[in-house]
Amino acid sequence: MKKFLFTVFTKLEYVDYFLVIVLWIAGAIATICGFPWITLGIVAMHATELVTIGLKAGIKGGCGILYSIAMCMMFGFTWWVPLKMKTNQVSFD
pLDDT (tens digit per residue) in 42-62: 999 999 999 999 999 999 999
- pLDDT above 90 covers a percentage of the chain that reads 66
Q: How many domains does the chain have?
A: 1
**Domain assignment of residue 45, given as a range:** 2-86
d(CA 72, CA 48): 10
- Does some domain include residue 91? no
- Does some domain include residue 44? yes
Residue range 55-75: mean pLDDT, rounded: 95
For 25, 50, 72, 73, 75, the CA distances from 44, given in Å and listed in that order, are 16, 10, 12, 9, 13
- Does some domain include residue 50? yes
- Does some domain include residue 93? no
d(CA 8, CA 13): 8
pTM: 0.82
- Does some domain include residue 15? yes
Q: Going by C-beta distance under 8 Å and a sequence separation of 6 or more, which residues neighbour residue 8?
A: none
